Amino acid sequence: MHTQSERDHAGWQDAEAAAASIPNKRLQRRLRRLLEQLSSAPGKPVPAACGDWAATKAAYRFFDNPRVTEHGVLSGHFAATASRFKGRHQISKEAPANKEWHTSRIYAIIRYGTFMDILKSSG
């Protein structure tokens, strides 16, 4: 039997994929699968996270799709994050930790955008 926390953790990919500005259900399903694969292998390159050539090729095709944008993918993340904080009355004001997290998050988003640009220009 799974705990509520395990169900919540397992469902975050569904929430983010559903909230993303992706043009159709097939691409939303692909995004959900990519989120699952990449989050199960943090820091690993796409081929290692995907596991086999077919999944790796599908991932690169997703990133190369002109209908998939950085904004579209990240919009799901931002919406899901806002939803998780809805109803919370207080957010910690620990400046050093929050500043460090915020800075690292911005760099991660910048790197992701650069990664998407590289993928789209290499084709």
Residue 86 lies in a domain: yes
Q: How far apart are CA 72 and CA 17, in angstroms?
A: 10
Residue 118 lies in a domain: no
Domain that holds residue 86: 4-91
Where residue 87 sits, what CATH number does that domain have?
Answer: 1.10.246.40
Could you give the angle at which helices 95-121 and 70-85 cross, rounded to 10 degrees? Answer: 150
Residue 23 lies in a domain: yes
Q: Among all chains, which residue has been given the structure tokens 């097939």? A: 26
Q: How far apart are CA 55 and CA 30, in angstroms?
A: 10
Residue 121 lies in a domain: no
Per the structure, how many domains does the chain have? 1
pLDDT (tens digit per residue) in 60-75: 999 999 998 888 888 8
Residue 62 lies in a domain: yes
Dihedral over Cα of 17, 18, 22, 26: its sign: positive
Mean pLDDT of 9-20: 76
What element of type H or E holds 73? helix 70-85
Residue 108 lies in a domain: no
Residue 116 lies in a domain: no
In this model, does residue 100 exceed pLDDT 60? no
Residue 14 lies in a domain: yes
Say whether pTM exceeds 0.85: no
CB atoms within 10 A of CB 46: 17
